């Protein structure tokens, strides 16, 4: 397996496919998944001449199940270490859900020349949890419920999420894919329970407002209106207003996991953005 070792000794697993001199795209997965969640997109862009890279966040997938570092500062530092090790220049960074937060946090801090463009899909910025500053957010009780369900029976919880709201399979007339459900469960159970537990705080309570304001590269913000995990109204439209060079692409009726349920719709839009 390909890995890098960070300053604190954590092994970060990554995939790196394609010609080394091709335009690199780095994919950042959502909670509680792994680089495998990007199989469709990696094959799509590899077939179009890009170099595609995806890593398992610490505590997730095949990376070290660390006891600490499950917050955005460390996640972004791990991405910086990967970019340094692979000497990525002008890379395009694509993040889904929690991975979208990771992208925003990293890009706002990246060394000059490392990042060319970014895409965030169904992403958590600006901030998910409800507060006086974010009255449209989700109550902390929602996230406490996620933590409780994870502690009580992580294996069952990781069946319930993809079977229901993640892919919109709980909607009338939804075309349910058992393969997607099983693969979600497989990826989730590869990771560490402590990492998944602590990451809930990272994705729900981190405020990315200042990060979004700092980013000057072009950013495509993609979001489905039927996202039951990261509600549309309190995320994408607010995030794009904070970006100096942001574009909002809204998908009517599509779910949080639209990268997997509707890649035929989403992938060409990303490709068009990359070719601009």
Residues assigned a catalytic role = 97, 227, 256
**Which of 66, 61, 132, 135 has its CA nearest to residue 99?**
61
β partners of residue 52? 17, 25
Q: Annotate the chain with three-state secondary structure.
A: CCEEECCCCCEEEEEEECCCCCCEEEEECCCCCCHHHHHHHHHHHHCCCCEEEEECCCCCCCCCCCCCCCCHHHHHHHHHHHHHHHCCCCEEEEEECHHHHHHHHHHCCCCCCCEEEEEEECCCCCCCECCCCCCCCECHHHHHHHHHHHHHHHHHHHHHHHHHHHCCCCCCCCCCCHHHHHHHHHHHHHCCHHHHHHHHHHHHHCCCHHHHHHCCCCEEEEEECCCCCCCHHHCHHHHHHHCCCEEEEEECCCCCCHHHHCHHHHHHHHHHHHHC
């Amino acid at each position: 397996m390909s890995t890098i070792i960070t300053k604190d000794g954590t092994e970060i697993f990554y995939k790196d496919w394609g010609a080394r001199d091709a335009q690199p795209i780095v994919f950042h997965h959502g909670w509680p998944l792994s680089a495998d969640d990007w199989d469709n997109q990696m094959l799509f862009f590899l077939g179009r001449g890009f170099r595609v890279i995806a890593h398992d966040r610490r505590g997730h997938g095949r990376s070290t199940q660390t006891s600490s570092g499950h917050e955005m500062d460390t996640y972004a530092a791990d991405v910086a270490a990967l970019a340094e090790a692979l000497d990525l220049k002008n890379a395009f960074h694509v993040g889904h859900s929690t991975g979208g937060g990771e992208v925003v946090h990293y890009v706002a801090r990246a060394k000059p020349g490392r990042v060319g463009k970014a895409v965030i899909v169904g992403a958590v910025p600006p901030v998910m949890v409800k507060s006086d500053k974010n009255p449209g957010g989700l109550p902390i009780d929602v996230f406490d419920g996620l933590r409780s369900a994870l502690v009580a029976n992580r294996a069952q919880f990781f069946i319930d999420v993809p079977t229901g709201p993640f892919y919109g399979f709980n909607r009338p007339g939804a075309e349910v894919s058992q393969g997607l459900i099983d693969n979600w469960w497989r990826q989730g159970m590869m990771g560490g329970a402590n990492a998944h537990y602590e990451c809930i705080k990272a994705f729900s309570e981190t405020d990315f407002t200042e990060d979004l304001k700092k980013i000057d590269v072009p950013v495509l913000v993609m979001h489905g209106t039927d996202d039951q995990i990261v509600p549309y109204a309190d995320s994408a439209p607010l995030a794009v207003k904070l970006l100096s060079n942001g574009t909002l692409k809204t998908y009517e009726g599509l779910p949080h996991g639209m990268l997997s349920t509707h890649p035929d719709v989403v992938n060409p839009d990303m490709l068009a953005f990359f070719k601009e």
